[in-house]
Chains A and B, each alone.
Chain A
Amino acid sequence: MAGNSAVVLLNSEEGRALVKRHCREANLSMSHLFELIEAELEQLGKKRKAGLWEEFDRIFDSLEEDD
């Protein structure tokens, strides 16, 4: 899963279990959460987060398709 190492929480079993539990309770997809994290990581160091919302559009539209 891309971006794991940047988010140390996701490197440990306990951290991943926590994420899994919260996603399950909210009926959300973990993989899409990681995609969102990756999109945010792409923006690190930018003064303005250009392109981020287009990426969010793509990810959320794919939620519809997966449903």
Chain B
Amino acid sequence: MPDDETISKRNLSAQALIKLIDEADDNTLLIACASGTINGFESGFSQDSEAVVTIVKCIRDNQSAFPADLIDNALELRALAAIALGEIITRNYGSANGPGDAAILSSALITTGSELRPRAQERFLNIMMDELIASAHVATSIAAAINRQRIPLDFDELKEAASDTTAEDFLAEFRPVLENLFRHLEEQAASDREELQVLSWLYNNYSVTLGKSLGKLDPYETALCAGAEVGDLVRTPALDGIQNMVIEAVERITQKKKNKNLSLREIVKQWTDKGMSTLQPSDTNIQTIVRQFPPLFPLTWLCMRLLESGAHVGWEEEFNLKTGLDSAENYDPQTITKQVFNERVAQRIYAQAKQR
């Protein structure tokens, strides 16, 4: 067991890393930490990678004898990145506004990075990932619930602002109250719209992108389109309930075809270019992040790769290497639906965070 001094120094290093993430101009360091946590720093990173250099520095500032070589420190970097992410994800659980942007993005990335990944056979890595995945789920659920709370409009506030005031002061006092009320109305309308649009989509069972009934598509094409199209309709972060509805819908549609689970190698044979375009982001910033961190967006990366190369062959080795997944692993349509849905939502969360 590490001694107390090592633990307190490592705490300081984690706090330093969190501070750097919070103060960064963009989310690249946060995303790199998520990727390193999910897939380790041995793959996709080099000793000179910005994230590796930053994390090593955070540790070295408190423990000068820490080795710099990735061969000697990769697991420790992974542990520190996981600690930092865990802190970010859980820090505002109980606050009135719920988890912040960084927590929501981290949670989304932990979810997309871990869903298709088989459980590690390293006991303590499993424990670490289990804690992180559970925390990410809770943070997402809290944020999704708070976002959609139906809050009754406070007309008394309007009356108070309008009464006992001079003509000059009226607008100054009335305007913020009005803005607040409109904001509430827009939030409620967005949540109402979400429910209507998702319900319509599910009732219709029709792929807007492909212009076909879902029942007429191959099962994994159904999974791809359903996950991506509904992922585009929902508010972010998404409610568990919506995700479950889409998964159940795909299960209902595809079970008639009595499929057995297929490997990714076989799954992509059912994907058309048009279907894959539903998951491919049009935003070049998102494309860059996907290319940089494939473990966090494995199916998006795969769709981009297949669309760019124009061929469904010869991608397996590159996929395995870059994502840390196994193209020979079997998945059912529901799992693919869930992953596509989560990746689409995560893409949008990233884009919104970047805009803000």
Do A and B assemble together? no
